[in-house]
Chains A and B, each alone.
Chain A
Amino acid sequence: MTTSTNDQAGAASVMPDEATRARVKRWRYAKDGASRWLVGFGGVSVIGALALMFLYLFSEVMPMLAPPEMEPLTEYAAPGEAGERTLFIAVERYQEVGFRVTDAGALYFFRPDSGEVLQRITLHIPDGVEIVSHAFGEPRTRLNILGLSDGTALLFRDAYSLIYPEGVRMVEPSVEFPLGEEPIRVDDDGAPLSVIGAQQGARGFNIAGYTADGRLLLTNVDARRNFLTGEVTLTRRGGVMERPDYAPVALLLSADLRDLFVGDDEGRLHHYNTLNVTAPERTQTVRVVSEGTGIGALSWLLGTVSVIVGGEDGSVSQWFMVRDEDNIRHLTLIREFQRMPAAVTAITPEYARKGFATADADGNIALHHSTSHRSLLQRQVSDQPVRFAINAPRNNGFLTVDETEIVRYFSLRNPHPEASIQALWSRVWYEGRQQPDFVWQSSSATDEFEPKFSLVPLTLGTIKAAFYAMLFAMPLAILGAIYSAYFMTPRMRGITKPAIEIMEALPTVILGFLAGLWFAPFVERSLPAVFSVLLLMPVMIMGLSLAWFMLPKHWRGRVVPAGWEAAALIPFILLFGWICVEMNPVLQIAFFEGDMRQWLTDRGVTYDQRNAMIVGVAMGFAVIPTIYSIAEEAIFNVPKHLTQGSLALGATTWQTVTRVVLLTASPGIFSAIMIGFGRAVGETMIVLMATGNSPVVNFNMFEGMRTLSANIAVEMPEAEAGGTHYRILFLAGLVLFVMTFALNTVAEMVRQRLRKKYASL
């Protein structure tokens, strides 16, 4: 370089001419600019991608908070002939065909978007007989029943089949008569059935009726098809139940055919046990609306466990049978929903969820969900009383019909009614439970299952796991860090640090597998040994130090030189551990009647083989390196002049450690603990493998838990994308993300401040 600048003649011959130089320069600057842009773009987009993660998690959670959207599509006069009154209206799952039942005994299939009649079916009702009552069954059965004036009833349901003429999907409606097209006799005396109710169960159909002359009837009809002849034979049992001392207005039968609820005109609900159809017994009577008002409407929820009561005062409440300690069931008020402005006229349950719709006499409709205790939407659709309002099977459409027989058709988006702050974080009274509780049970084999989405057991489980892990890891990691940063000889430190760093890199799946398959069975049969190690190890170490201290002064340094105590202790610790394990049977027999596990169980302590103690040790193992290396760094970097000053003033090394070093390094140790805690909170595989993953709410060290992270790992693959369960799992992920991110950020800030402090000292 220097030669070329000095030798001008040479330079002149080598140097390119002006133009080339300018071109090269331009090219170089262009490259520089391009590189700047490339790096800038790349860098910003990578960082953007990381930020995107947070935004994406958030965007998956947000839709749960969005209120339902309901848009009116069309309205038209009810399809069919004028003067007929609607008893029932519905739409099938593809929303291509609607279905209407009228009091003239006519069934209409129509196009829900225009009201155009596709098909009209006239029911086989004898001349002179009138329809006097109507009811519908559990929504999935699509069952309708008409009570007639001659003491008979007619059951039918709308059915749809998909056909593909020319490859285009078409919905073909039809009507099915499960008990035949002719009405079947309910009252042998032939009195009009002024109130009716029906349900389909495993043992046929139960039909309840109240006659105009004041008798309550219950009939079970079972249809059996002879598989050779195809002939259907009906068997009919039951008869008159009683002459009630009240006036029924609605009858509800459960799908297990066990319960019959009768609502009366004074606002009371009467319960009958109908396990034996021929001899039903009345068990209780409960007032379900406030004094002086009557029942406006009554309906089951999906699964026929809960009864929704709509009062004439607009009240909406949920009731079901709760068992008490003596196993006696009592009809209990579970929760009240937001009132309707006027008397409730109709309640219809949703098809696949524990939600329902209500309508009132002022033309309002509302959507509610029972588990989450939410009243999601309320709006006025008409200035007339609404006769009937119903959700589409997939909850994406809504039909109403009012007193003037105007049908209104709405589009609906109500994807996540199950989620609410209360459902996620408070005690919820689930169907069939004795009291409100925190439960996580997201799915089950049956359709009518009530999903239980309480995040409390999972959060507590997470904290429990992290707590036991920290209990195990903190003393070991911090004490170890103090020793290796301050006392250990550099040579030994040169081995210890990398060894523990490698420990950090060990896959957690290996820790989990060892914990679950090796450590958990070992602990189960060696409980006394494990506890004696945990409790006596410090005593043993202190004893050794005393023994060492008792040695003559000039021997001490030779037996164990300063800084090599840890190495000297290793054989003793191993020996002590071995002795404890060998002594295990002796301890078992001496103190625990031969088996400590059984001994614990006898004393009422539940013992799971894979429990919090196992997780604590395994996860402690995983967080020790994290805590150790950060704490060690903080202690090691305490400026030397501080410690030297302290020692020079006559403090012992231990005094220097506790009063100077630890005090100065305490923020660093604190941040080490925080980061370790963050890691314990998010750890998945260890918890998955070393616990039974049952979501329990307790802090018993001998029981397992289910953590947020393990729960995601277990349930995410099965969760339907976009569903409430899926989004709640994302919420769990978001909670984990925010929690660990916040913990780490605080810890990092503390560390940075500490670094600055050290630099200024």
Chain B
Amino acid sequence: MKIKLFAATAVLALGLAACGGETPAPEMPAPEASAAEAPAPEPAPAMASIGETPADPVAFMKTRHDNYEDLGKNFKVLLDNSKLGTPDMAAVSAAAAKVNEYAGQMGTWFPPGTGPEAGKTEAKANIWTERADFDAKLANFQAEAGKLVTATGTDAAAFKAQFGPTGGTCKACHDTYREEDKDK
């Protein structure tokens, strides 16, 4: 299956390399503004407040996973636009607002009993044993997400300048508290 896909990609890629860069422009889909509007997974419906183990930890963790994926989706809108000469500021503002919204909720996403002991997750156990540091890193993200909202409301240059620092706070937490490559 993977081999077949691989071969198909190879042929596709060969075509791409062979006809060079002349083709890209016309048939490319419109900019990914739709990602932000796409029906997002329910923003944390059954999230318990920090401290209580949810009644159904597996469902809770699934929602958490979907929320992170939607966060990634919104971040890709920001990333794509950060590379443009003239970013789509409406799309960027919507995505930044969504990121900020998730950032605000994230403190409630890791109650006890929702770590690797409870099921499949990339969340590492040290989230719960080094909670103070985890919370400090989360606070950094929340601060930078807030600045991103302000920046996207200002102008393209402000947005581009703030994109890196905000992304950096995501990474800072992932480096310590997220397992590599388990979500395929």
A-B interaction = no
Query: Which chain B residues have a beta carbon within 8 Å of chain A's beta carbons?
Result: none
